[in-house]
Amino acid sequence: MRLIPAIDLIDGKCVRLTQGDYHQKKVYNENPVEVAKEFEEAGIQYLHLVDLDGAKSGHVVNHEILGNITHQTNLQVDFGGGVKTDEDIKKVFDHGARQVTCGSIAVKNREAVLKWMDQYGANRLILGADVKGREIAISGWTETSGVSIFDLVHRYTTEGLNYVICTDIATDGMLTGPNFELYKELLETFPLIQLIASGGVSSVEDLKKLKTLQVEGVIIGKAIYEGKITLEQLSNLSYA
């Protein structure tokens, strides 16, 4: 199981939101490159980088920070937020992302995502399935789509997309524990997907429980910034 710390970007700063609410924003560091270097120094290999400005505006905004992180560290970065056009995705890959998360675009423009799968390879794309209940939320979590997460995952796995990040918005930033039941149900329904759990991780015990579910990776955000899980603890876990 890969351990994947998260950096969320607003105005070029490292922030965390609570349940995706832009009005519940807390700035943790004004230099996200420094944060990324701290992760690498602790033995972390992966990073989940979210362009919240991009998600809200509908186009990639913080690509320069992505480039700074990938040039100044060896972290393998997956990037999401605002990827809507051929120009956006090319920009993100050109700035060093290993994978790109397709969120709103996967709901709104399936043809574009299928084209990118063909152009870049299915394993360089991740389906970003952000849910309220069982319904997909889009546009920086500001809208619900009316699409079930199970329908969306089925729609893309039948086309060969393997990686899925599932974020339960109700638990995100709450430090109350992940939605284990949802992840269990997804893996029972789609046993071949590479599922990355996101939202609510609050302790090493949560990580151990997710490992027993056999998720491929887990994204850890506020728990690190609030000191609930230390970088030393992450470096001592031999999951990756």
The CA-CA-CA angle for residues 103, 235, 46, to 5°, reads 25
CA distances from 18 to 123, 136, 172, 198, 216 (A): 30, 18, 6, 13, 25
Give the integer Cα–Cα distance in Å for 103 and 144. 12
For residue 62, give its domain range: 2-236
185 Cβ contact list (under 8 Å, min separation 6): none
Residues with catalytic roles: 8, 130
Under DSSP, the state recorded for 215 is: -
Q: According to the model, what pLDDT value does residue 186 have?
A: 97
Could you tell me where the beta strands, DSSP code E, fall in the chain? Answer: 2-10, 13-18, 21-29, 46-51, 76-80, 99-102, 125-132, 135-138, 143-148, 163-168, 194-198, 217-220
- CATH classification at residue 24: 3.20.20.70
What tokens were used for 210? Answer: 């997710």
What does DSSP assign to residue 75? -
DSSP class of 123: G
Contact residues for 58 (Cβ-Cβ < 8 A; gap 6+):
82, 84, 139
Q: What is the pLDDT along the chain (240 residues), one digit of tens a residue?
A: 999 999 999 999 998 777 667 777 788 888 999 999 999 999 999 999 999 999 888 999 999 999 999 999 999 999 999 999 999 999 999 999 999 999 989 999 999 999 999 999 999 999 999 998 889 988 766 677 889 999 999 999 999 999 999 998 888 777 889 999 999 999 999 999 999 999 999 999 999 999 999 999 999 999 999 999 999 999 888 654
In this prediction the pTM is 0.93
Number of domains in the chain: 1
